[in-house]
Chain A
Amino acid sequence: MIELVSHKLCINCNLCVEVCPTNVFDAVPNQAPVIARKEDCQTCFMCEAYCPADALYVAPQSHTDIAVNEDELIESGIMGEYRRILGWGYGRKNNSELDTAHKLRQLPRPYQS
């Protein structure tokens, strides 16, 4: 579930408020948005994909709360990982061309007799 809106990175654009499909965030005037309804978060990571400042962290744990440390997360380089995977963001080329799904059928399968 969503665990962090980093005040150190957030640029107060409120895009996450706009795009969250389950309406988890609330805008706050002149500040970073707040996680207002965490219980509605479905752990879909879409807010991370849209955040232009890599300021959001959705923990992979979907049903349990996880304590996170903002500095450690930033230090670890994991912030913005989904955007890097997608190739979204200024100066990047989107990665949809790297899709390999059409090659799945040709892969060797285990346990074949």
Chain B
Amino acid sequence: MLTENELQLSADVLVIGGGPAAAWAAWAAASQGVKVIIADKGFLGTSGAAAASGNGIMSPSPENWQKVASERYRVGKDLANLRWIERVIEKTWLSLPLVEKWGYRFPKENGESVRQSYYGPEYMRVLRKNLLRSGVQILDQSPALELLLAEDGSVAGARGVQRQHHRFYTVRAGAVVLANGGCAFLSKALGCNTNTGDGMLMAVEAGGELSSMEASNHYAISTAFNATVTRGVPFGWASYTDETGKDLGGYIDGRRDPAFLPNALMKGSVYARLDKATDEVKAVIEKSHFIAFLPYKKAGIDPYTERVPVTLVLEGTVRGTGGIRLVDDNCATKVPGLYAAGDAASREFLAGLASGGGGPNAAWAISTGQWAGVGAAVFAKSLGARANERVARAAGQVGLRSNSFVSEKFDNDAIVRGVQAQMFPLEKNYLRSEQKLLDSLAKLEALWQQVQGNPKQDTVRDIEFSRRAAALTAVARWAYFSALHRTETRSEHIRVDYPQTDRNQRYYQATGGLDKLWVRRDWITDTLTTSPVETTATTPVVSKL
């Protein structure tokens, strides 16, 4: 264990994460005049799903707000929340001129900036530069591992390791924002291997709740040789063929059939060729989705004329909507002083159980980041000057500390492979059924028992990866337990044993628990308030809002 030279810092607000939501949260908190530290496992600027690509942003101009909002609501299949959709759109629209002021150059049309998308690397470079100017202290390469809790149960900071200094660090803070992304189960989906569900585990250990975790099975198309650049737009102009070159179709009324590719891939190889792209289309998609063309160029492949095998990569809750449950407009969680933003938080208000991927999630990061940052700053101020003198304990358990008397250490890599074996296959996670979910949950339970054992902690990397293995196992269990208890098919949650959408199942499903999992149905009513109702769950409900 590395116990010497522990770095001790204190701040009013600690933000955990290194993508857009974290950056916006840190800036918004600093704008309230409080001291802010932001700690990311990687590098704020390259970490996460946004930095490594480009993104549309759900930020229509005001004359289109109503149209876009109602379209978004429709996509959410009766589970989205119109008031939240509208406030996200408005906040995002009002915020993007700031990005321009900070140095980002948006494209122009008729002399006017069009602020509806960004190039990820440049966007994150600008956000980082702005944070440094705002006096925010950035801790890069510093994965947070656990929260600190005060005696009254409120959050008091966090503790983690510094990968390149081989030491622990502790940041005491009056409030904490979790903005460390969703969970893609180390699938290598573009930029997502930093998104391993750490925030969800930390929140639950502290007493927080998760929501819509059944929406955790989003898959995205990529080529098979480069099973990482998960950018679907260029494939909108693909023809799909099988091994023998036979055309497989894949479109309904000019739109890609979302069920086509998973079903075709469960039968055999699928090849794509972007041969429907006209010169006009090529000119646009090569500039909007440049990252999709970099692998082709390097591999010497012409995607417009050559057939390339494709695959589906699990993006989990990064483009799925599950995450930490928000309890108010300031993005507070159930834990006093703990806020959540971006993909770490449930995006059910924007998307129900459909994907929030791309534009909606980009807008969600900008808006919830700021609300969480301001909420955290106000909370921290309310504690007064002696907030960081509170007695605090470290809340991390699984994968960090063990009561096991067995000296043998659990094998991180084997745990990760075991989780992936349950989460990656389309047969298990795309087409779900009670039988398959119970079978997977039993296997995940066995992995959960293993991570109760002693973690390998010889190096900072061991410490980080042991905890990460535990987080991935925890998230997989919440995902499948939630999927088991939602007995209908809705959006991306497909139950082959309940193939219809059940109009009576209009609720957000909360989940949580560590050794003992639970779910709760929070019914969506016309007044958009929630009332907890017990489910027919085999595990008793142990938590109420």
Contact = CB atoms under 8 A, between A and B. Distances in A.
Interface in A4-60: 17-23, 37, 40, 42-47, 49-50, 59-60
Interface string A99-111: 1111110011111
A109 B285 CA distance: 13
B278 interface: yes
Contact of A109 (B48, B255, B299): B255
A18 B55 CA distance: 25
A109 B254 contact: yes
B52 A44 contact: yes
A43 B105 contact: no
Contacts of A97: 105-108
B107 A99 contact: yes
Nearest to B18: A21
Interface of B: 18, 41-43, 45-48, 51-52, 54-56, 104-109, 114, 116-119, 121-123, 140-141, 163-164, 188, 190-194, 225-228, 233, 236-237, 251, 253-255, 276, 278, 280-281, 283-285, 287-288, 290-291, 294-299, 461
Is the contact region of chain A dominated by helix, strand, or loop, or is it mixed?
loop
Contacts of A22: 42, 193-194
Contacts, number: 162
Contact of B225 (A60, A85, A96): A60
A69 interface: no
Contact of B285 (A37, A42, A94, A104): A104
B190 A44 contact: yes
Contact of B228 (A44, A104, A107): A44
Contact of A21 (B48, B108, B117): B48
A102 B119 CA distance: 12
B478 to A, nearest CB: 24
B293 to A, nearest CB: 9
B116 A43 contact: no
Contacts of B233: 104
Q: Which 9 A-B pairs have the closest CB atoms?
A: A21-B42, A112-B254, A101-B117, A60-B295, A110-B276, A42-B193, A46-B46, A111-B251, A101-B288
Q: Which of A18, A59, A101 has the most CB of B within 10 A?
A: A101
B298 A78 contact: yes
Contacts of A110: 236-237, 251, 254, 276
A100 B284 CA distance: 6
B46 A43 contact: no
